[in-house]
């Protein structure tokens, strides 16, 4: 089984760093998946000026442990990110620093194409637009819950999605075509 794993806000809490860089209050919640919503018009230029958001992001709770367990079960992990190419080394170092399981790192914005080209079986993603494009292309997607998406799954839903059994059941449900059997409640 091959799984594609998005990075920003799927396994890396980049939004917390963006919030800090923009001086937004700690309790601020990104309700929209948009940098414009927080006053950033030139997204590409902004990230170039703020590489620290990729360097300093903490892993989301449970992400490393869950991927480690999946890898230990023989699941092949592919990290697929639309981060800019200049952030490749930073990203590689970050995955290593936090002991994420080994996996190829693909810098590519068109995740549906990557899904198809690599013959992936499942994709972990948070961005509503990406989830939609992936699903439109026939991909099976596990949406990592964020305030701006439908929120089906969290790595750290202990006893629901964060434990290995929950994750595997979820993946198995997606793969067998009956995700409703194991879909976790929207929060
Ligand atoms: Mg993301």
Q: What's the 67 CA to ligand 1 centre distance in angstroms? A: 16
Q: What's the 9 CA to ligand 1 centre distance in angstroms? A: 5
pLDDT of 131 > 80? The answer is yes
- The verdict on residue 92 lying in a domain is yes
Q: How many domains does the chain have?
A: 2
Helix 164-176 crosses helix 63-72 at what angle (to 10 degrees)? 60
Q: What's the 177 CA to ligand 1 centre distance in angstroms? A: 24
pLDDT of 162 > 60? The answer is no
- The verdict on residue 143 lying in a domain is yes
**Are residues 39 and 27 part of one domain?**
yes
| Cβ contact 179:172 at 8 Å | no
pLDDT of 45 > 50? The answer is yes
Specify the higher pLDDT residue, 48 or 167: 48
Please give the residue range of the domain that contains residue 28.
14-55
Write the CATH number for 119: 3.40.50.1000
Tens digits of residue pLDDT in 14-29:
999 999 999 999 889 8
**Are residues 66 and 38 part of one domain?**
no
Q: What's the 72 CA to ligand 1 centre distance in angstroms? A: 24
Who surrounds ion ligand 1 at CB < 5 A? 6, 8-10, 126-127
**Are residues 166 and 84 part of one domain?**
yes
- The verdict on residue 186 lying in a domain is no
Tens digits of residue pLDDT in 65-108:
889 888 888 889 999 999 999 999 999 999 999 999 999 999 99
**Are residues 157 and 91 part of one domain?**
yes
Q: What's the 80 CA to ligand 1 centre distance in angstroms? A: 9
Per-residue pLDDT band at 170 (split at 50, 70, 90): low
Percent pLDDT > 70 in the chain is 82
Residue 59 CB contacts under 8 Å (≥ 6 apart), including other chains = 11, 12, 13, 98, 100
Average pLDDT along the chain: 86
- The verdict on residue 187 lying in a domain is no
pLDDT of 185 > 70? The answer is no
Q: What are phi and psi of 157, to 5 degrees?
A: -75, 75
**Are residues 149 and 76 part of one domain?**
yes
**Are residues 128 and 104 part of one domain?**
yes
The confidence score (pLDDT) of residue 180 equals 40
């Amino acid at each position: 089984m091959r799984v594609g794993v998005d990075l920003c806000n799927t396994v890396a809490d980049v939004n917390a760093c963006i919030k800090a860089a923009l001086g937004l209050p700690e309790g601020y919640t990104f309700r929209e998946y948009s940098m414009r919503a927080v006053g950033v018009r030139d997204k590409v230029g902004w990230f170039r000026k703020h590489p620290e958001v990729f360097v300093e992001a903490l892993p989301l709770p449970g992400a490393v442990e869950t991927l480690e367990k999946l890898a230990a079960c023989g699941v092949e992990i592919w990290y697929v990110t639309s981060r800019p190419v200049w952030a490749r080394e930073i990203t590689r170092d970050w995955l290593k620093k936090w002991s994420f399981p080994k996996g190829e790192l693909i810098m590519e914005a068109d995740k549906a194409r990557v899904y198809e080209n690599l013959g992936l079986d499942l994709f972990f993603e948070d961005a509503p637009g990406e989830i939609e494009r992936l699903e439109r292309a026939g991909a099976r997607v596990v949406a990592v819950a964020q305030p701006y998406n439908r929120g089906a799954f969290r790595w750290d839903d202990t006893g629901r999605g964060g434990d290995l059994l929950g994750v595997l059941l979820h993946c198995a449900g997606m793969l067998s075509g009956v995700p409703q059997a194991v879909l976790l409640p929207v929060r």
